[in-house]
Amino acid sequence: MNKAFVREPDFDGRVFCPRCGSEGILVGSGPLDRYLLPEKRGKFPETAYCCTFLRCDVVYFTALETTAEVTDLARSAYPYDLDAPICACFGLNYDDVVDDTDDSQPTRIRNIVARSKTADARCASLSLDGRCCLAEVQRLYMKLLQEKS
């Protein structure tokens, strides 16, 4: 069939990483200002997309395929650096989650769950992807528990 008669798909609002094809997560200026080197930040608009696929070197990108890679970060960030806090608001890190799997009660994680409901939680501006860390903390906790059994 001639392409002239084939309808293009409607844009559904999703934007995909130009490197790996993962769906991007829309982030505001807070994470971009916090994590990007100043010279790289100037090349990005107020909002961009975050690629959270760990094996992809791209961290932020735009719909016009401007990209920022891990080497363009001004500070270390989880999951690219396991020593960096998973929770940018309260400092919970990988070792804290490991320690909770060793203890009989996940007290550190429960503390983060409680604190994430307060006004002190500023995930939209402090976290790499602009989202709350609880899903990632719980995923990591369950993964580590599975590895122990």
Q: Report the percentage of the chain scoring pLDDT > 90.
A: 89
Is residue 7 scored above 80 in pLDDT?
no
CATH number of 14-75: 2.20.25.270
Tally of residues, the chain: 149
For residue 21, what pLDDT is reported? 96
Q: Are 126 and 30 in contact (CB under 8 A)?
A: yes
Is residue 4 scored above 70 in pLDDT?
no
Of the pLDDT bands very low, low, confident and very high (cuts 50, 70, 90), residue 16 is: very high
For residue 12, what pLDDT is reported? 79
Taking Cα atoms as reference points, which of 76, 24, 72, 80 lies closest to residue 48?
24
Spell out where the chain has E strands. 25-27, 48-50, 58-61, 67-69
Provide the token pair at 141.
Answer: 């906790």
CA 16 – CA 46 distance, rounded (Å): 18
- The full set of domain ranges for the chain reads 14-75, 77-149
Phi and psi at residue 111, to the nearest 5°? -65, -45
For residue 149, what pLDDT is reported? 81
Is residue 2 scored above 70 in pLDDT?
no
| pLDDT digits 0-9 by tens, 103-118 | 989 999 999 999 999 9
Of the pLDDT bands very low, low, confident and very high (cuts 50, 70, 90), residue 72 is: very high
The one-letter code for the residue type at 108 is R
For residue 29, what pLDDT is reported? 97
